[in-house]
Homo-oligomer: A and B are copies of this chain.
Amino acid sequence: MTDRERRAWAYLAAVAEPPCAPLVALVEEVGSVEAAKAVRTRTVPPHYQSVLVATEARAAVDTAARDLETCDRLGARLLTRDDADWPAWQVLGLDQAETAARGGAPLALWVRGPESFADISERSVALVGSRAASSYGDYVAGLLAADLCASGWAVVSGGAYGIDGSAHRSALAASGTTAAVLACGIDRDYPSGHAQLLREIAQRGLVVTEYPPGTTAAKHRFLTRNRLVAALSSAVVVVEAGRRSGAANTAAWAKRIGRPLGAVPGAVTSATSVGTNAMIADGDATLVADAAAVIALAAPDGHDVRPAAPSRRTDGLLPDQLRILEALPARGGLSVDEIAFVSGVRTQDALRALAALDFAGLVDGSDGTWGLAR
Protein backbone atom coordinates (compact mmCIF):
# COMPACT_ATOMS: atom_id res chain seq x y z
CA MET A 1 0.00 0.00 0.00
CA THR A 2 1.34 3.40 -0.96
CA ASP A 3 1.51 6.25 1.52
CA ARG A 4 -1.12 8.04 -0.55
CA GLU A 5 -3.50 5.07 -0.28
CA ARG A 6 -2.82 4.75 3.43
CA ARG A 7 -3.53 8.45 3.96
CA ALA A 8 -6.74 8.09 1.98
CA TRP A 9 -7.89 5.13 4.12
CA ALA A 10 -7.08 6.98 7.35
CA TYR A 11 -9.02 10.02 6.13
CA LEU A 12 -12.03 7.88 5.16
CA ALA A 13 -11.92 5.94 8.45
CA ALA A 14 -12.38 9.18 10.35
CA VAL A 15 -14.57 11.30 8.07
CA ALA A 16 -17.88 9.59 8.88
CA GLU A 17 -19.13 8.11 12.13
CA PRO A 18 -19.02 4.33 11.64
CA PRO A 19 -20.75 2.34 10.50
CA CYS A 20 -21.44 4.16 7.23
CA ALA A 21 -22.64 1.72 4.58
CA PRO A 22 -22.86 4.31 1.71
CA LEU A 23 -19.22 5.33 2.25
CA VAL A 24 -18.16 1.66 2.26
CA ALA A 25 -20.06 1.19 -1.00
CA LEU A 26 -18.38 4.24 -2.57
CA VAL A 27 -14.91 3.00 -1.60
CA GLU A 28 -15.77 -0.45 -2.97
CA GLU A 29 -16.75 1.19 -6.26
CA VAL A 30 -14.01 3.78 -6.90
CA GLY A 31 -11.19 2.80 -4.51
CA SER A 32 -9.89 4.61 -1.44
CA VAL A 33 -7.92 7.38 -3.14
CA GLU A 34 -10.75 8.40 -5.45
CA ALA A 35 -13.30 8.11 -2.67
CA ALA A 36 -11.24 10.34 -0.35
CA LYS A 37 -10.87 12.91 -3.14
CA ALA A 38 -14.61 12.81 -3.89
CA VAL A 39 -15.53 13.35 -0.22
CA ARG A 40 -12.95 16.09 0.25
CA THR A 41 -14.08 17.97 -2.86
CA ARG A 42 -17.77 17.27 -2.25
CA THR A 43 -18.16 15.80 -5.73
CA VAL A 44 -19.48 12.27 -5.22
CA PRO A 45 -21.34 10.33 -7.95
CA PRO A 46 -25.07 11.16 -8.10
CA HIS A 47 -26.29 8.02 -6.29
CA TYR A 48 -23.91 8.64 -3.31
CA GLN A 49 -25.52 11.86 -2.05
CA SER A 50 -26.01 10.24 1.36
CA VAL A 51 -22.21 10.12 1.66
CA LEU A 52 -22.16 13.92 1.57
CA VAL A 53 -24.64 14.06 4.44
CA ALA A 54 -22.67 11.54 6.50
CA THR A 55 -19.35 13.31 5.99
CA GLU A 56 -20.42 16.94 6.06
CA ALA A 57 -19.34 17.60 9.66
CA ARG A 58 -15.78 16.28 9.26
CA ALA A 59 -14.94 16.49 5.54
CA ALA A 60 -12.84 19.63 5.90
CA VAL A 61 -10.80 18.38 8.86
CA ASP A 62 -8.19 15.89 7.74
CA THR A 63 -6.87 13.98 10.80
CA ALA A 64 -5.22 11.26 8.71
CA ALA A 65 -1.59 12.28 9.26
CA ARG A 66 -2.05 12.68 13.00
CA ASP A 67 -4.01 9.43 13.32
CA LEU A 68 -1.41 7.42 11.41
CA GLU A 69 1.34 8.93 13.56
CA THR A 70 -0.50 7.84 16.71
CA CYS A 71 -1.01 4.43 15.17
CA ASP A 72 2.69 4.04 14.38
CA ARG A 73 3.73 5.29 17.82
CA LEU A 74 1.56 2.61 19.48
CA GLY A 75 2.77 -0.12 17.14
CA ALA A 76 -0.78 -0.47 15.85
CA ARG A 77 -1.83 -0.98 12.23
CA LEU A 78 -4.67 0.14 10.02
CA LEU A 79 -6.45 -2.84 8.54
CA THR A 80 -8.43 -2.14 5.35
CA ARG A 81 -10.41 -3.92 2.67
CA ASP A 82 -7.22 -4.03 0.62
CA ASP A 83 -5.45 -6.17 3.25
CA ALA A 84 -4.96 -9.93 3.01
CA ASP A 85 -5.88 -10.04 6.72
CA TRP A 86 -9.28 -8.46 6.06
CA PRO A 87 -11.98 -10.97 6.96
CA ALA A 88 -14.71 -12.03 4.59
CA TRP A 89 -17.33 -9.88 6.27
CA GLN A 90 -19.96 -10.95 3.81
CA VAL A 91 -19.54 -14.48 5.22
CA LEU A 92 -20.10 -12.91 8.62
CA GLY A 93 -23.42 -11.62 7.42
CA LEU A 94 -22.55 -7.96 7.73
CA ASP A 95 -22.71 -7.15 4.04
CA GLN A 96 -26.24 -8.39 3.66
CA ALA A 97 -28.84 -5.84 2.81
CA GLU A 98 -30.84 -6.50 5.94
CA THR A 99 -27.97 -5.68 8.24
CA ALA A 100 -26.38 -3.03 6.04
CA ALA A 101 -29.09 -0.63 7.08
CA ARG A 102 -28.28 -1.04 10.74
CA GLY A 103 -24.57 -1.65 10.64
CA GLY A 104 -22.82 -3.24 7.79
CA ALA A 105 -19.19 -4.09 7.50
CA PRO A 106 -16.62 -1.66 8.88
CA LEU A 107 -14.69 0.51 6.46
CA ALA A 108 -11.38 -0.10 8.22
CA LEU A 109 -10.11 -1.32 11.57
CA TRP A 110 -7.33 -0.15 13.84
CA VAL A 111 -5.69 -3.20 15.41
CA ARG A 112 -2.88 -3.55 17.91
CA GLY A 113 -1.18 -6.77 18.98
CA PRO A 114 0.75 -9.76 17.64
CA GLU A 115 -2.27 -11.93 16.80
CA SER A 116 -3.73 -12.21 13.30
CA PHE A 117 -7.19 -10.74 12.94
CA ALA A 118 -8.11 -13.38 10.35
CA ASP A 119 -6.96 -16.25 12.59
CA ILE A 120 -8.99 -14.98 15.51
CA SER A 121 -12.09 -14.50 13.39
CA GLU A 122 -11.82 -18.13 12.30
CA ARG A 123 -11.85 -19.78 15.69
CA SER A 124 -13.19 -17.63 18.48
CA VAL A 125 -16.05 -17.33 20.92
CA ALA A 126 -17.35 -14.11 22.42
CA LEU A 127 -17.84 -14.14 26.19
CA VAL A 128 -19.84 -11.13 27.28
CA GLY A 129 -21.93 -9.99 30.21
CA SER A 130 -22.64 -7.49 32.93
CA ARG A 131 -20.07 -4.97 34.04
CA ALA A 132 -21.50 -5.36 37.55
CA ALA A 133 -20.89 -9.10 37.57
CA SER A 134 -21.26 -11.28 40.64
CA SER A 135 -18.39 -13.39 41.88
CA TYR A 136 -20.22 -16.35 40.28
CA GLY A 137 -20.22 -14.62 36.89
CA ASP A 138 -16.57 -13.64 37.17
CA TYR A 139 -15.66 -17.19 38.13
CA VAL A 140 -17.61 -18.84 35.29
CA ALA A 141 -16.31 -16.33 32.72
CA GLY A 142 -12.78 -17.19 33.83
CA LEU A 143 -13.45 -20.92 33.78
CA LEU A 144 -14.99 -20.87 30.30
CA ALA A 145 -12.21 -18.64 28.92
CA ALA A 146 -9.47 -20.90 30.28
CA ASP A 147 -11.15 -24.08 29.00
CA LEU A 148 -11.87 -22.56 25.58
CA CYS A 149 -8.23 -21.45 25.26
CA ALA A 150 -7.08 -24.94 26.29
CA SER A 151 -9.13 -26.26 23.36
CA GLY A 152 -7.52 -23.78 20.97
CA TRP A 153 -10.30 -21.22 20.80
CA ALA A 154 -9.72 -17.48 21.04
CA VAL A 155 -11.82 -15.44 23.47
CA VAL A 156 -13.34 -12.20 22.17
CA SER A 157 -14.88 -9.59 24.45
CA GLY A 158 -15.33 -5.89 24.94
CA GLY A 159 -12.61 -5.03 27.45
CA ALA A 160 -15.16 -3.79 29.99
CA TYR A 161 -15.28 -4.32 33.75
CA GLY A 162 -16.98 -7.47 35.03
CA ILE A 163 -17.49 -10.45 32.71
CA ASP A 164 -15.41 -9.00 29.85
CA GLY A 165 -12.40 -8.38 32.07
CA SER A 166 -12.60 -11.81 33.73
CA ALA A 167 -12.73 -13.51 30.33
CA HIS A 168 -9.75 -11.56 28.95
CA ARG A 169 -7.68 -12.02 32.10
CA SER A 170 -8.30 -15.73 32.31
CA ALA A 171 -7.43 -16.21 28.62
CA LEU A 172 -4.13 -14.37 29.18
CA ALA A 173 -3.42 -16.42 32.32
CA ALA A 174 -4.05 -19.59 30.31
CA SER A 175 -1.61 -18.36 27.63
CA GLY A 176 -4.51 -18.34 25.21
CA THR A 177 -5.53 -15.86 22.54
CA THR A 178 -7.85 -13.01 23.37
CA ALA A 179 -9.15 -9.99 21.48
CA ALA A 180 -10.75 -6.86 22.94
CA VAL A 181 -13.04 -4.87 20.65
CA LEU A 182 -13.16 -1.24 21.82
CA ALA A 183 -15.81 1.46 21.50
CA CYS A 184 -13.13 4.20 21.43
CA GLY A 185 -9.84 5.01 19.72
CA ILE A 186 -6.97 2.53 19.90
CA ASP A 187 -5.02 5.14 21.91
CA ARG A 188 -7.65 5.36 24.63
CA ASP A 189 -7.76 3.28 27.78
CA TYR A 190 -11.40 2.68 28.40
CA PRO A 191 -12.32 1.92 31.08
CA SER A 192 -9.33 3.61 32.67
CA GLY A 193 -9.11 0.94 35.35
CA HIS A 194 -8.37 -1.57 32.57
CA ALA A 195 -5.38 0.38 31.17
CA GLN A 196 -2.96 -2.31 32.30
CA LEU A 197 -5.20 -5.16 31.06
CA LEU A 198 -5.62 -3.54 27.63
CA ARG A 199 -1.85 -3.03 27.42
CA GLU A 200 -1.33 -6.73 28.09
CA ILE A 201 -3.91 -7.71 25.47
CA ALA A 202 -2.15 -5.40 23.00
CA GLN A 203 1.14 -7.13 23.80
CA ARG A 204 -0.07 -10.74 23.62
CA GLY A 205 -3.45 -10.76 21.88
CA LEU A 206 -5.25 -8.17 19.81
CA VAL A 207 -7.03 -4.88 20.52
CA VAL A 208 -9.49 -3.94 17.76
CA THR A 209 -11.58 -0.86 17.00
CA GLU A 210 -13.21 0.79 14.02
CA TYR A 211 -12.86 4.23 15.66
CA PRO A 212 -9.93 6.46 14.74
CA PRO A 213 -7.41 7.52 17.41
CA GLY A 214 -8.72 10.14 19.79
CA THR A 215 -12.33 8.93 19.63
CA THR A 216 -13.88 8.80 23.09
CA ALA A 217 -16.15 5.98 24.22
CA ALA A 218 -19.84 6.88 23.91
CA LYS A 219 -23.09 4.98 24.41
CA HIS A 220 -23.97 4.66 20.73
CA ARG A 221 -20.44 3.42 20.06
CA PHE A 222 -20.87 0.54 22.51
CA LEU A 223 -23.95 -0.60 20.60
CA THR A 224 -22.10 -0.33 17.27
CA ARG A 225 -19.04 -2.05 18.70
CA ASN A 226 -21.21 -4.98 19.89
CA ARG A 227 -21.99 -5.96 16.28
CA LEU A 228 -18.26 -6.46 15.69
CA VAL A 229 -17.92 -8.62 18.81
CA ALA A 230 -20.68 -10.86 17.45
CA ALA A 231 -19.42 -10.82 13.86
CA LEU A 232 -15.86 -11.66 14.84
CA SER A 233 -16.92 -14.80 16.78
CA SER A 234 -18.34 -18.20 15.86
CA ALA A 235 -20.70 -18.02 18.84
CA VAL A 236 -21.70 -15.49 21.47
CA VAL A 237 -22.11 -16.54 25.10
CA VAL A 238 -23.72 -14.27 27.67
CA VAL A 239 -22.27 -15.26 31.03
CA GLU A 240 -24.29 -12.95 33.24
CA ALA A 241 -26.87 -10.30 32.48
CA GLY A 242 -29.39 -8.47 34.60
CA ARG A 243 -32.84 -7.49 33.43
CA ARG A 244 -31.41 -4.67 31.34
CA SER A 245 -27.88 -5.23 30.16
CA GLY A 246 -25.59 -4.20 27.32
CA ALA A 247 -25.02 -7.91 26.79
CA ALA A 248 -28.61 -8.15 25.56
CA ASN A 249 -27.60 -5.89 22.68
CA THR A 250 -24.67 -8.13 21.73
CA ALA A 251 -27.06 -11.08 21.99
CA ALA A 252 -29.50 -9.33 19.65
CA TRP A 253 -26.66 -8.77 17.16
CA ALA A 254 -25.76 -12.45 17.35
CA LYS A 255 -29.32 -13.43 16.45
CA ARG A 256 -29.50 -10.80 13.70
CA ILE A 257 -26.35 -11.93 11.90
CA GLY A 258 -26.89 -15.63 12.52
CA ARG A 259 -24.39 -16.36 15.28
CA PRO A 260 -25.36 -19.13 17.72
CA LEU A 261 -26.22 -17.59 21.07
CA GLY A 262 -25.51 -19.30 24.38
CA ALA A 263 -26.26 -18.19 27.91
CA VAL A 264 -24.98 -19.41 31.25
CA PRO A 265 -27.85 -20.13 33.66
CA GLY A 266 -27.76 -18.88 37.19
CA ALA A 267 -29.74 -18.93 40.40
CA VAL A 268 -33.27 -17.61 39.93
CA THR A 269 -32.60 -15.60 43.09
CA SER A 270 -29.68 -13.75 41.48
CA ALA A 271 -30.36 -10.34 39.88
CA THR A 272 -27.32 -10.79 37.62
CA SER A 273 -28.81 -13.95 36.06
CA VAL A 274 -32.31 -12.61 35.37
CA GLY A 275 -31.34 -11.70 31.80
CA THR A 276 -29.53 -14.93 30.95
CA ASN A 277 -32.26 -17.11 32.46
CA ALA A 278 -34.87 -15.13 30.51
CA MET A 279 -32.93 -15.59 27.22
CA ILE A 280 -32.95 -19.35 27.82
CA ALA A 281 -36.59 -19.48 28.94
CA ASP A 282 -37.69 -17.49 25.87
CA GLY A 283 -35.80 -19.81 23.55
CA ASP A 284 -33.43 -17.05 22.40
CA ALA A 285 -30.31 -18.65 23.83
CA THR A 286 -29.09 -22.20 24.40
CA LEU A 287 -28.16 -23.05 27.98
CA VAL A 288 -24.40 -23.66 28.16
CA ALA A 289 -22.91 -25.05 31.33
CA ASP A 290 -19.31 -25.63 30.27
CA ALA A 291 -16.76 -25.02 27.53
CA ALA A 292 -17.67 -28.29 25.78
CA ALA A 293 -21.22 -27.02 25.34
CA VAL A 294 -19.91 -23.68 24.07
CA ILE A 295 -17.70 -25.43 21.52
CA ALA A 296 -20.61 -27.62 20.42
CA LEU A 297 -22.52 -24.39 19.82
CA ALA A 298 -19.66 -22.70 17.95
CA ALA A 299 -18.68 -25.76 15.89
CA PRO A 300 -21.84 -27.86 15.65
CA ASP A 301 -20.16 -30.35 13.31
CA GLY A 302 -17.55 -31.27 15.92
CA HIS A 303 -18.14 -34.41 17.89
CA ASP A 304 -19.97 -34.29 21.16
CA VAL A 305 -17.46 -34.26 23.96
CA ARG A 306 -20.00 -34.27 26.76
CA PRO A 307 -18.84 -36.76 29.44
CA ALA A 308 -21.04 -39.78 30.01
CA ALA A 309 -22.80 -40.25 33.34
CA PRO A 310 -20.99 -42.59 35.73
CA SER A 311 -22.45 -46.09 35.95
CA ARG A 312 -23.70 -48.00 38.99
CA ARG A 313 -23.53 -51.68 39.85
CA THR A 314 -27.30 -52.05 39.53
CA ASP A 315 -27.37 -50.49 36.07
CA GLY A 316 -28.69 -52.91 33.49
CA LEU A 317 -30.48 -55.22 35.92
CA LEU A 318 -33.84 -56.57 34.83
CA PRO A 319 -36.99 -55.48 36.72
CA ASP A 320 -37.37 -58.82 38.54
CA GLN A 321 -33.72 -58.72 39.58
CA LEU A 322 -34.07 -55.18 40.94
CA ARG A 323 -37.21 -56.10 42.86
CA ILE A 324 -35.47 -59.05 44.45
CA LEU A 325 -32.41 -57.02 45.33
CA GLU A 326 -34.67 -54.47 47.03
CA ALA A 327 -36.50 -57.21 48.90
CA LEU A 328 -33.35 -58.48 50.60
CA PRO A 329 -32.77 -57.18 54.13
CA ALA A 330 -29.71 -55.10 55.03
CA ARG A 331 -28.50 -57.96 57.23
CA GLY A 332 -29.13 -61.71 57.19
CA GLY A 333 -30.95 -63.70 54.57
CA LEU A 334 -34.36 -64.93 53.42
CA SER A 335 -35.59 -68.16 51.93
CA VAL A 336 -36.59 -68.20 48.29
CA ASP A 337 -40.26 -68.39 49.27
CA GLU A 338 -39.91 -65.40 51.56
CA ILE A 339 -38.12 -63.49 48.81
CA ALA A 340 -40.88 -64.39 46.35
CA PHE A 341 -43.53 -63.10 48.74
CA VAL A 342 -41.83 -59.85 49.67
CA SER A 343 -40.85 -59.01 46.09
CA GLY A 344 -44.03 -60.29 44.47
CA VAL A 345 -41.93 -62.27 41.97
CA ARG A 346 -43.02 -65.91 41.63
CA THR A 347 -40.69 -68.55 42.94
CA GLN A 348 -39.26 -69.94 39.71
CA ASP A 349 -38.59 -66.43 38.39
CA ALA A 350 -37.05 -65.45 41.72
CA LEU A 351 -34.68 -68.40 41.53
CA ARG A 352 -33.57 -67.44 38.04
CA ALA A 353 -33.07 -63.80 39.07
CA LEU A 354 -31.12 -64.84 42.19
CA ALA A 355 -28.79 -66.92 40.03
CA ALA A 356 -28.13 -63.92 37.80
CA LEU A 357 -27.57 -61.65 40.81
CA ASP A 358 -25.22 -64.24 42.33
CA PHE A 359 -23.28 -64.31 39.07
CA ALA A 360 -23.06 -60.49 39.14
CA GLY A 361 -21.65 -60.70 42.68
CA LEU A 362 -24.59 -58.83 44.17
CA VAL A 363 -26.06 -61.59 46.38
CA ASP A 364 -24.75 -64.52 48.41
CA GLY A 365 -26.64 -67.76 48.96
CA SER A 366 -25.95 -70.28 51.73
CA ASP A 367 -27.93 -72.78 53.80
CA GLY A 368 -31.01 -72.22 51.66
CA THR A 369 -31.16 -68.47 52.31
CA TRP A 370 -30.07 -65.52 50.23
CA GLY A 371 -28.69 -62.17 51.37
CA LEU A 372 -26.92 -59.14 49.98
CA ALA A 373 -23.27 -59.75 49.07
CA ARG A 374 -20.86 -58.24 51.59
List residues of A whose CB falls within 8 A of some B CB.
Answer: 16-17, 53-54, 56-58, 61, 136, 139-140, 143, 218-221, 243-244, 264-269, 273-274, 277-278, 280-281, 286-290, 293, 309-310, 312, 314, 319, 322-323, 325-327, 340-341, 343-347, 349-350
Question: Is A347 within 8 A of B265, CB to CB?
Answer: no
* B140 with A269: CB separation less than 8 A: yes
A266 CA to B16 CA in the complex, in Å?
A: 45
Residue of B nearest to A266 (CB): B267
**Chain B nearest CB, measured from A223 CB (Å):** 9
Tell me the nearest residue of chain B to A328, going by C-beta: B218
**Shortest CB distance A252–B (Å):** 14
Q: A57-B347, A341-B58 are in contact. Are A269 and B136 (CB under 8 A)?
A: yes
Residue pairs across A and B with Cβ atoms less than 8 A apart, 15 shown, are A53-B346, A54-B344, A57-B340, A57-B343, A57-B345, A57-B346, A58-B341, A219-B326, A220-B319, A221-B326, A244-B310, A266-B266, A266-B267, A277-B287, A281-B293
Contacts of A221 in B (CB 8 A): 326
> Complex formed: what's the CA distance from A280 to B263 in Å?
12
Knowing A341-B57, A341-B58, the reply to whether A289 touches B293 (Cβ < 8 A) is no
A286 contacts B281, C-beta separation under 8 Å: yes
Shortest distance between the CB of A269 and any CB in chain B (Å)? 7
Which residue from chain B places its CB closest to the CB of A61 in the assembled complex?
B341
Which of B56, B136, B293 contacts A347, CB < 8 Å? Answer: B56
Known: A17-B344, A281-B287. 13 other contacts (CB 8 A): A57-B345, A57-B346, A139-B269, A220-B322, A243-B310, A244-B310, A265-B266, A265-B267, A265-B277, A265-B280, A266-B266, A277-B289, A281-B286
